[in-house]
Amino acid sequence: IIGSSIANLTKTMVLGDTVFLADLVVDIMDRNLYERANDCRWWALTSDFRKIMEEDFINEENKLKMHKILAYINDLYTVYTNLFIYDTNGVITAVSNPDEAYLVGKKLTNSWVEKTLELSDSSNYFVSEFEQSPLYNNDYTYIYNAAIRSLKDEETVIGGIGIVFDSTSQFKSMIEESLPKRSEGMIKEGVFTVLTTQKKLIISASDQRHRTGEILELDSKYFVLKPSESINEIIVYHGKYYALGVKCSKGYREYKSDKDDYVNNVYAFYFSYISDVADTQIVKEKPYALEKDIVHEVVDNSMDVASFYIGKKWLGIDANYVVESISASEMDSAIQVETDHHFKGTILYDDKAVAVIDIRNFIKEGVDEPYSEIVIVRYGAKKEYIGLLVTALGDIPEIETSRIKALDEYVVGSNTLIKSVVFPLEHEKDKELLTILNIQKLDKNLVQPQLVHF
């Protein structure tokens, strides 16, 4: 019970950590991208941009002036690879990055240009899909946009400003900030994080196996989480067990909130390695009754039953007769005894030579795996000992005597070693019954004849 409680507590803590760290990633991301939404709107209000873009013809001097302003801003805000201004036809008129001066005069045909030019006021912005763009060396990124409005009439849109987010380096930094580190600053082994869109498209990842633009092949249930919702569980992924925490982004302040028209669910997947599937033995719940029905307080009219397994057979003895269990490796094997004989050897216990017997043939049970324990049983007025070879030990449940039903010898025969069975509860009807052995019959049918023979 204690072991199970510790295991459950550990599982809860590990899975809880995965959600916490997944939440940390998307929280850092939302706070960062909130600033990007603010930047494009703020820079769209630049008076020089509004004056120049309102002119019917923009000369080279004014184009250079806009370029210098954009370059100055970009030098301060290195999270962008380029800032650019375009007119109402989508034609780029100025850029911040001199290496991309060739873009001036090029017409943008992206849908986000049209959407930006339709924005109703200066509090609005528009963001492209996370997609490949020639404005970002044909890599995947977000481009944040805001409308440039006339100084004479705020209702009139005269152009737009676009800012190209350096997603490759920035998302990588966000993820690395959130990953647990060792004392020397190195990221812990066996953990990694993946950011994706709702369409499973990978935005960024901390490991080399998951590349931006690829699809994260996981169950679709993770990608229907709503903002701020999370899930955690242990999964099998690429032949390994991972503790997985998933969190859907929730926005920051007004960004992606009810007050914002922008909807873009991003999902953070935090993986924490547990073990390789091939090297892991999973102990499944045994199909026996009572294992979840242990009574922890004293119950009137009850009996403690020491249970054990012989093969797959679940057996028990009144716990009052059981002294302890000893490793089967300590038994001295019998010499010149038939293979099928129930007497298998002796063990020294309490300064006495105790006979060790194998009852598999008397309960009609095959045993494939080797015996691991000897259950020492004490019985009778003289307190004699006998050892029973068992495959594994079980629980010692306290069972109400009303559930213990004696077997009629007329039905099962007088030579059986079985005394009674424990009737299962309603929810246990499809499980194996606990069968209680008769100590007196063990002595009468197996031990005493053996003593006379020797």
Task: Dump pLDDT digits (tens) for 249-261.
Answer: 998 888 888 778 8
Cα–chain center distance at 164:
35
Residue 410 confidence class, pLDDT cut points 50, 70, 90: very low
Task: Dump pLDDT digits (tens) for 71-105.
Answer: 999 999 999 999 999 999 999 999 999 999 999 99
- Amino acid code (one letter) for 17: D
Give the residue ranges of DSSP H helices in 124-237.
Answer: 167-178
Residue 303 confidence class, pLDDT cut points 50, 70, 90: confident
Give per-residue burial for 219-246: e unless 16+ CB within 10 Å, then b: eeebbebebeebbbeeeeeeebbbbbbb
50-56-61-64 Cα dihedral, nearest 10 degrees: 50
Q: How far apart are CA 290 and CA 315, in angstroms?
A: 12
Residue 402 confidence class, pLDDT cut points 50, 70, 90: confident
Mean pLDDT of the chain: 84
Task: Dump pLDDT digits (tens) for 58-78.
Answer: 999 999 999 999 999 999 999
Q: Strand 313-318 and strand 92-95: pairing?
A: unpaired
- The CA-based angle 341-342-344, given to 5 degrees, is 90
DSSP 223: G
Q: How far apart are CA 97 and CA 94, in angstroms?
A: 9
DSSP 106: P
139-143, 295-299, 384-388: segment of lowest average pLDDT: 295-299
- Give the model's pLDDT for residue 138: 95
Q: Please check the confidence at residue 13 and state whether its pLDDT lies above 60.
A: no
210-224, 268-282, 326-340: segment of lowest average pLDDT: 326-340
Residue 52 confidence class, pLDDT cut points 50, 70, 90: very high
Q: Phi/psi at 125 (nearest 5 deg)?
A: -150, 170
- Give the model's pLDDT for residue 284: 52
User: Which residues have a Cβ under 8 Å from the Cβ of 266 and sit 6 or more positions away?
Assistant: 26, 29, 195, 196, 197, 203, 248, 249
- Give the model's pLDDT for residue 447: 62
Task: Dump pLDDT digits (tens) for 330-366.
Answer: 787 665 555 667 788 888 888 888 888 888 877 777 7
